[in-house]
Structure 1
Amino acid sequence: MKFTVKKLALFTLLLATALHYSLASAGEGNFGWIYTLDLQPKGKVEFEERLQMNNGQAAGSYQTWYSRTELEYGVTDDFQIAGYLNAYKVNAKNNYLNPDVCGDNTPCTAGSGVPQSVTDSGASSYSKTGLDGGSIEAIYRITDPITSPVGVGVYFEPTLGRNANALEYRLLLQSNFIDDRLILAANVIAEQEQLKSNGFLLQESMLDLLVGASYRFMPKLSAGVEARFHNDFYGYMWQSPTQNAIFVGPNIHYAEKDWWVTAAWRAQLSGGTCHNTGAGDCWGNKVWDSHTQNEFIVKVGFPLN
């Protein structure tokens, strides 16, 4: 059977529906991209499916789907581990304007997920679906926002993928107010990436700040806003800045006793800048390369015991 992201998402959702029989409360994720300190209790397992879609570049059409199928396990009440299976789909058509990449064929089909051989051939479009490898995640909660003014945690995630290998580190911060109805959260992210392109391993790194708020205005329904302040660098150790961009958008979260769902959208604002080797990837006062105008995410979670 031919593999597609849609089939993977459908299969995992059906599997989770068949398995979720617990009446325990789920470890909710109120935000689209921000990790909070609401971890799984000791011995508890939760299934989570994430589907992200990015679309829109400065020319033509460009769309990527990224699926992450996850199992979370509470080792202790303050330490959680998880494993992910990652999959992707990319559709691109005359979406790139960087003359260093396109040469005389501007616009060309290029960018994240598009092999250089496709760009060099002058193809007007490209589409690919496949598995992208796996990730392991560990989160340790140092202080709990339920009992402390500021909850603090640390996060580590290594990824081995078909398109990239990465090491991601996060500092997690969270404060709860108004009887825990208002959640303010922030993640400081550092990442080292090894991008795989036509037999070459490209050295990149990233430093991001994610901030957001979520307010529960009905017993089962919350909504809020989140922002991403994004910085790309050339080299594994953040040696040379290449790009800066800002993304902002809303989120909404609904929770039942034994399942929850979250949806979020963030849009790239004008004012993105490019430096040094990334200078060709800024068009129309925004950053492109592996970035898009819009990013959408939907997450659903079920406890399994």
Structure 2
Amino acid sequence: MNRLSFAAFAAVLVVSSTIALADPRPFTFTTDTYAMGKGNFEYEQWVTWRHHKEDDSGYDKVEFRHEFEFGLADNFDFAVYLPSWSYEDSEDQQGAKFGSIDVEGIYYISNPRTDFVGVGLYAEAKIGDEFLGFEGKLLVQKDIGQWVFAYNLVLETSIDGVFNSTVENEVEGEIKHTFGVSYALTPSLLVGGEAFIESAYADWSVYEKTAVYAGPVVSWQGHDHFWVTVTALFQVSSEADEPDFRLRMIAGWVF
């Protein structure tokens, strides 16, 4: 294990041990439809590790996001992400890099527990050094007894070079389907699995590739204010330029 791999595991272990867990997040790659509720405020720490590519065996990348989420209404949450950043060890890049500043809004149409199905609409905007990003999601979820079933339809657009007049803009589009299933072994421990199918399009007109990932997820709901969720995903497709392994941890504290 190289130093970056060790650093990724250390980051997960340290944050997991110091931030126990409240507003439950059963998944990390699939967005749920649990509203925070008016007046509530939550901090979330994201750590995502991407490891090994078929065409770059030494590839490692750790991404960090710091989210502040507010319940502006019982059915609407608003979030701000402080500057995200990453550390990469690959053939293309060595060292740390600024990512983006993001804002997010989620409108909850129905509740997964009390209604026939929970439905939400998600919108996010990102701004980086030389790119703009936009992401929209349709969120669907149903809780049945101890089971949680969730699905997201995701449309994402990235416009590179938008702040550089000397280069031509490059538009990349993605369509993603994410799935999550979780079961509550105890009131504080959920286990299950996640998967996603992600297809990329140049200028939204030229198909490029499709990557498929699947793996286990564990969520621990600690006391009234703390939670942590970890997902490990393995590539089950054969895209040589996509990571073979992704590990994501999200830990939260509700104030």
Same fold flag (TM > 0.5):
yes
Q: How many angstroms apart in 2 are the aligned matches of 1:292 and 1:263?
A: 18
Matches within 5 A, 1:154-169: 154-162=121-129, 164-169=131-136
Deviation readout 1:220-270 (Å, 9 max, x if unpaired): 1000001101100010xx211100111001000000221000000111113
* 1:44 matched to 2:40: yes
SS of the residue corresponding to residue 301 of structure 1 reads strand
Query: Residue 91 of structure 1 is aligned with which of 89, 92, 99?
Result: 89
State the structure with bigger RCO (CA 8 A, min sep 6), 1 or 2. 2
How far, CA to CA, are the matches of 2:151 and 2:58 in structure 1? 32
Matched, 1:145 2:112: yes
* Structure 1 Cα separation of the partners of residues 101 and 57 of structure 2: 31
Read off the aligned partner of 2:250 and give its amino acid letter: K
TM-score by length of 1: 0.73
Q: Deviations over 1:65-100 (max 9, x none)?
A: 1111000000101000000021111101xxxxxxxx
Residues of 1 paired with 2:50 and 2:67: CA distance? 20
Which residue is 2:139 aligned to?
172
- Percent identical among aligned pairs is 24
After TM superposition, the structure 1 = structure 2 runs for residues 12-161 of structure 1, keeping only pairs within 5 Å, are 26-58=22-54, 59-85=56-82, 86-92=84-90, 109-110=91-92, 126-161=93-128
Distance 1:266 1:194, change over 3 A: same
Query: How far does residue 128 in structure 1 lie from its aligned partner after superposition?
Result: 1.8
Corresponding residue for residue 255 of structure 1: 221
Higher-Rg member (1/2): 1
Paired residue type of 1:152: V
- Which residue, out of 244, 254, 270, partners 2:210? 244
Which of these residues, 159, 162, 175, is aligned with residue 194 of structure 1?
Answer: 159
In the other structure, the counterpart of 2:195 is 227
Distance 2:95 2:172 in 1: 23
Cα RMSD for the two superposed structures: 2.5
Runs of 5+ consecutive residues of structure 1 not aligned to the other structure: 93-108, 111-125, 271-285
More strand by share: 2
Whether contact under 8 Å (2:23, 2:225) holds in the other structure is no
- Unaligned ranges ≥5, structure 2: 1-6
- TM-score, length basis structure 2: 0.87
Query: Which residue of 269, 286, 296 corresponds with 2:247?
Result: 296
Q: How many residues align?
A: 239
